[in-house]
Structure 1
Amino acid sequence: MMLLYTLIAFVFALFFLNWLLGYKKGNITLTLDDRYTGLKEYAEAIEIELKKEGKQAVYKGGRKFLVDGKLYEFSDRTVPIGGVPTQQTILEPK
């Protein structure tokens, strides 16, 4: 019985962690090669990455992008990937 509870807690933790990291339905999640602190350079890097993925992307200002005709707002988080702090970009539909 304890094994069942442990398994349920583990599965719940995985789903919660994915949700917390921005992997929700409709979100676009990017992990860029470099870390950006300036908004202008960061937005340019996001736009380039989206275009590499074959999407039509235009930065509209104010942390908002028009991606394939839909409006998204981006935020970023620092997450450890392989023990290395990595900047992760999440675009959420608005």
Structure 2
Amino acid sequence: MPHEQRLTREILDFPQVYQSFLQKQFFQSLEILPGWNSQIEVVCQLACPIFDAKGVVCSIWLIKSIEETFEQLEISLVQEIANECAIATSQS
């Protein structure tokens, strides 16, 4: 969804996501977004934390249309990418 690309959000505005991140867990949810031409759009979101020894550094968010939930293989892949990003960040 082009209008959602590069969207920045403050994690403290989403306490349920923040709690999952503190436990080093991903978070999957549904969200209603304002769409084009006054239409409402429902999406499935997957948020995965990137953390180091000090805590959560940032996160990766993926969005799909409601008809497509994230499968376990996709979740595992995103978690692996987050782990690799954490390693690369700590090594830099």
TM range (shorter): 0.3 to 0.5
More helix by share: 2
Q: What is the TM-score of this pair, normalised by structure 1?
A: 0.32
Q: What is the TM-score of this pair, normalised by structure 2?
A: 0.32
Q: Which has the higher contact order (CA 8 A, sep 6+)?
A: 1
